[in-house]
Amino acid sequence: MKVAILGAGAWGTALGVLLASKGIPTALLARRKEQAEALRAHRENKDYLPGVALPAYLFPTSDPEEALSGAEFAVVALPSKALEEALEGLPPAPWYLSATKGLFFREGGLRTASQVIGALTGRPVAALSGPNHAEEVARFLPTASVAAGPEALAQRVQELFSGPTFRVYTSRDLRGVELGGALKNVLALAAGMVDGLRLGDNAKAALLTRGLREMVRFGTALGGEEATFYGLSGLGDLLATAYSLHSRNRGAGERLVRGEARERLEDRGVVEGLYAVKALRAWQEETGTELPIAKAVYQVVYEGLDPLRALSALMAREPKAE
């Protein structure tokens, strides 16, 4: 049995380390030949996950045929902005596991990563999501995650990835699991703005609590189950992303309000919240759904609204019951 991981960034490498450490032959597909050669030579991903040794059963390559030949399934661990281009022309896998937390606004409305993967490949897709920073997962610090999708696929993911430090639960609510993982990146941008403005713990707690309510409103409107958003892929992932020093989304929000240009926010890696909030804003305008925090984040990031004015607008909204 063999697994192929598409994407040799931090998260793809961390998932590869998990599988390979269990003796599962795992191909790690890098998009650039030079990166694959460096991974093989140093047995370490110095660009994205420094200090983590690659297990013997992890095989870096830049050859899609080599990576996918004989693979039971492919793990998609690609940035959302590169997902469609990267999948086009690849040899097919029997089924796919999405480890990409993104939103796509296409004709007909919002799409999750699993929907995009399914449309491109015509194959069954499951998803893996939770409070899982690659830097900690790859160093075998304890965490938990949710495998969602068709029951047989979710159980197979649970079987393969579960270990002493990585506990996997299953869920049939693929929609809810993915929507929570995408929206939390937008809320983490807002949390970073609170940190950057030094508004305090009370403000951050209030923001995230109301943000969770916004996540539930958004997610259930698109078919997710409410209980899912209070679980690992919703609240759990939100807390990890909004508070961790590892979080690129939280860090990007902090850097933005301290004067760094939006164009430089991805110098340290992809910031998924920047793309998710654009998709959310387009969906808001199409449907008229009220998502005040997401709207404020979009205005700060893309329209140059002063973050303190955005906060004032949120605080001045009409009083209402919780």
Crossing angle for the helix pair 174-197 and 307-315, nearest 10 degrees? Answer: 110
Q: Which of 184, 204, 295, 320 is catalytic?
A: 184
Q: CB-based contacts of 27: which residues, under 8 Å, 6+ apart?
A: 2, 3, 4, 5, 59, 60, 61, 66, 67, 68, 71
Crossing angle for the helix pair 248-257 and 174-197, nearest 10 degrees? Answer: 30
Is 184 labeled as catalytic in the residue annotation? yes
3-state secondary structure the chain: CCEEEECCCHHHHHHHHHHHCCCCCEEEECCCHHHHHHHHHHCEECCCEEEEECCCCEEEECCHHHHHCCCCEEEECCCHHHHHHHHCCCCCCCCEEECCCCEEEECCEEEEHHHHHHHHHCCCEEEEECCCCHHHHCCCCCEEEEEECCHHHHHHHHHHHCECCEEEEEECCHHHHHHHHHHHHHHHHHHHHHHHHCCCHHHHHHHHHHHHHHHHHHHHHCCCCHHHHHCHHHHHHHHHHHHCCCCHHHHHHHHHHCCCCHHHCCCCCCCHHHHHHHHHHHHHHHHCCCCHHHHHHHHHHHCCCCHHHHHHHHHCCCCCCC
List residues with catalytic annotation: 184
